A and B are shown apart, each in its own frame.
Chain A
Amino acid sequence: MSTATPEAVEARIVEALASFGPDVESVTREATFEELDIDSLDLVELAQIVEDDYGVELKGDDMKNMKTVGDAIDLVVARA
């Protein structure tokens, strides 16, 4: 399991989201999932990745409340 420094989490989440399709430059903290065309199926896959890497479990309610890339990063950092 990786060390959950804010920088490491951000880098990992940006990398993961970019692998789902959007250009890596567009994956900023402020970008919304809607703008990035990241849907619920992508977020389930993101949850699998952060659970594998940081042992943080994201549930359905967590996903519903996450609107931006920054929301996801902050949630994982807070729980890791």
Chain B
Amino acid sequence: MSRRRVVITGVGAVTPLGVGAGVLLERWVAGECGIVDGEGACRDFVAREHLSVKEIRRADRFAQMAMIASDEALADAGWQGELPYDAERVACVLATGIGGLGSLETQHDALRDGGEKAVSPLSVPLFMPNAGAGALSMRHGLRGHTYSVASACAAGSHAIGAATRMIQYGDADAVVTGGGEATLTPLSRASFAAMGALSPSGISRPFDARRDGFVMGEGAGILVLEDAEKAAARGATVLGEVRGFGSTSDAFHLTAPEPEGTHAAGAIRAALADAGVRAEQVDYINAHGTSTPLNDASETAAIKRALGDEALRIPISSLKSATGHLLGAAGAVEAIATLLAFRERVLPPTIGLDEPDPELDLDYIPLVSRPLEPLDGKPIALSNSFGFGGHNVVLCLEGVPA
């Protein structure tokens, strides 16, 4: 028996480029950057414009952004306030790198300054990493599997992969998935800076010779995944298909990627094998492309190792050049941007890449978008996500025919 196919029927996003998935693609394609003063904050996201006082008090910013992105994604899927399937067959898998860190810091301040009795009874439900998944489940009445995925900067892609497997295996008919992250906080800034991971220049320029670290961003991306047959039966508009999912681990270093990209390449191969796709069929790679010296070099090595000569042909770009690094939300937002770009038949650029690194010799679509002419009817992408802890995740995504 062939396995069930998994299609994407709705997307929503809150990113440094604005509130909405449409503005994310438009501004990226136009070469605009949402990074201000060295951070990719979601400056256009004002919680009280979307949520009640009670909802705001009971959700950390990462969950609030996921809630708003999920409203957009479900509306985009045409779910119109009602689930098209038995609620226990609709699941929710939401990624986060850290969870409600801002709330944790606030409550720790309260404990230090006011003692135990000053700590809010809402503390745990605010900062637990699964708070976002729980919030989406409650908000939309999703009563199937609900849990959170935490694999640092690979989590967004891991969530989509887990959601895909859930549908393929028959554990759910639809899954609301993606990621949320809001860690523009004092402790987070200090922690990432102490590691030497943050860009001192505050500029995200993946694959550029001058790249000096990542720029922290925040945001959320939500996708509605459905069993393809059931989506077709209800007449859903399909944005694309999750063709393949591959995941490996470096088992090498706490934070640094294995420099030869050996196991990241393994994840790329696994995603292609899972999809039944050959390197010759890949139209585009959405890179992890963090703008750290180590990632962009090891990722380039991994792409070459996995794809051979085809690596030189395939255009590659990094959304992080326009948004900074959305950590646990990154993979989800990047999958959304890739699918929307495919629908518009455009390949968005790596912004700020005007001084190529001689060591990095692939086609990173510097500075300017270009039209996409699919090799075959339906364009195929690989979307890479790698995380502290040595997590490598690759999705193989297919866009819609013209």
Whether A51 sits at the interface, judged by CB under 8 Å, is yes
Q: Which of B52, B122, B125 contacts A45 (CB 8 A)?
A: B122
Closest to A57 in B: B117
Whether B253 sits at the interface, judged by CB under 8 Å, is no
A21 engages B54 (CB within 8 Å) = yes
Write out the residue numbers on chain A whose beta carbons fall within 8 Å of the beta carbon of B122.
41, 45
Whether A8 sits at the interface, judged by CB under 8 Å, is no
Considering only residues 21-58 of chain A, those with a C-beta below 8 Å from chain B are: 21-22, 37, 41, 44-45, 48, 51
Interface size class of A (residues with CB under 8 A): 10 to 19
Whether B57 sits at the interface, judged by CB under 8 Å, is yes
CB-defined interface of B47-86 with A at 8 Å, one 1/0 digit per residue?
A: 0000011100100000000000000000000000000000
Once the chains are docked, how many angstroms separate the CA of A22 from the CA of B55? 11
Write out the residue numbers on chain B whose beta carbons fall within 8 Å of the beta carbon of A51.
117
Q: Distance (Å) between the CB of B34 and the closest chain A CB? A: 31
Closest to B118 in A: A48
Write out the residue numbers on chain A whose beta carbons fall within 8 Å of the beta carbon of B53.
19-21
Write out the residue numbers on chain A whose beta carbons fall within 8 Å of the beta carbon of B54.
20-22, 37
Once the chains are docked, how many angstroms separate the CA of A21 from the CA of B125? 17
Write out the residue numbers on chain A whose beta carbons fall within 8 Å of the beta carbon of B52.
21
B117 engages A45 (CB within 8 Å) = no
Once the chains are docked, how many angstroms separate the CA of A55 from the CA of B356? 66
Q: Distance (Å) between the CB of B239 and the closest chain A CB? A: 36
Closest to B119 in A: A48
Once the chains are docked, how many angstroms separate the CA of A37 from the CA of B117? 24
- 19 CB contacts below 8 A, A to B, read A20-B53, A20-B54, A20-B57, A21-B52, A21-B53, A21-B54, A22-B54, A41-B121, A41-B122, A41-B125, A44-B121, A45-B120, A45-B121, A45-B122, A48-B117, A48-B118, A48-B120, A48-B121, A51-B117
Interface residues of B (CB under 8 A from A): 52-54, 57, 117-118, 120-122, 125
